[in-house]
Structure 1
Amino acid sequence: MKDKVSILGVPFSKLTLAETTSLLDGHIAGGQGGLFHLITANPEITLASQSDGRLREIICSADLIVPDGIGIVMAARRQGDPIPERVTGYDLLLSLLAKGNERGWSFYFLGTDEVTSGQAVERIALRYPQVKIAGRHHGFFTADEEPGIIAGIQQAGPDILILAMGAPYSDKWLYKHKEALSGVKVVFGVGGSLDVISGKVKPAPAIWKKLNLEWAHRLLFAPVAKGQKSRWRRQSALPKFVYLTMIRK
């Protein structure tokens, strides 16, 4: 399809942030389309999908995959089928909150730690007063607590479910419970975006963003959640991603 480009077999959207927001706006307004699963994928996730069959299955079933990383944009450019811009989970979340403030959408936030979750939702409520907070829950729940959380989301029936449990865990969790959460209209993972909104992590300065070096800012300054691989180990996947995209060009 002309609005997508395949990178290592992953069909990335070529829509801009504004176009992606408009697409989701239409889906929510339609009300009859079922759950729309959007994935924000970077080079690390793309590379992981090459050896993780379950992740590959999830990616193939997603409704839209947006390029959350300058490496994806550069790979598309090398293939001669350019992507106009990155669409990061953080930017998409802010764009949908702004649109939701106009439309009166409801959001449910699942993930990060309890304190950060509470602080992020408080700030969102202040900044976007017309957004309805359908509910929230931290991401450090047990298997025994999970059914209650799913029941709570079902009862809340949010327009948008935001997952902040890290990638690819967020997408794997959603895929496992996709049928139970079919009443939700849009769902996607936002990585550490709630950490930034809460003030726990400082956003990258404008100059870092302009130079597409947000990944370097995170690498140097952002804390790593308990149980996650170090950022240095995760970034070591980038040279392999570049190599594979070049030899498969």
Structure 2
Amino acid sequence: MEWRNWHEFVPTLMEDSDEWEKLYNTFYNDDMLTNPVALNVKKGKIFLSFARVDALIKNYSKIVSTVQNNITDPKFDEVLSIYESFKNNGRISNYKTQLKYGNNIIELFPVNPFALSIPSKKFVWIDLFKNVQTIPSNVNVQWDTELFSEFQIKISADSNFNIELEPVPKHRLLRIEGCIMYLFQKEENQNEVMNIRITVIPNKYGEKLTGDIHINYSQKDYKYNMNTSIEYLKKIKNTLLELNTLKDIIMEDKSINDTEIIEYKKKFSDKLESL
């Protein structure tokens, strides 16, 4: 029996002991020990949160450094390769999400090359969702029509859902090799950033969603707007500042939790010695 599991052993000991009353008073009555599970759960959550934030800081910093070092002509394939190398806790979605810790909420922005306004000279699909078992019910994606003349969405052939768009830009709907494809082309004189909400509709209510969604942004003629990328990098840098502040908050919480565990262990040890 140790401090982290005494609550599982003591009830059984009380059943088999002639001194059950002493055990009861020691652990439940006289300066009662609280259930240790909460301390352990908190410790685990703090560890996972720290690992997540630390990985995000490293990955965002890597993208910022790579793009800034070649800001006049960033390489699409290089940025995409770095983005695709992000794994596990440091994974950054290809749509805007939120990181929540306590009362702290941080907006996480995508950092694939399209999001950074870095065009590709060849046609490239990137994953909006891939090999996921739980797809968010809806997400928002942006289409900068000034930079990208075409935007496409592809739903994999093995998917068990459809999508709804809001607003619904003029588009063509195709089915190729079982995949559903939405093809959008900018209107004449259209130069705006469109926010498109994609809502996932299951084919059968309650069924676990499976399948992939891919997106692509294309140009009729290759062009790169450095100023647009610089403005987006400013957003990422602000996110980095917020993440570093949150990292400090998590470290403070870890220190408090460590102290609470030390005090709990001593209290538990004192009770054992009193028996």
The two structures have a TM-score, normalised by structure 1, of: 0.29
Which of the two has greater helix per residue?
1
Which of the two has greater strand per residue?
2
Larger Rg: 2
The two structures have a TM-score, normalised by structure 2, of: 0.28
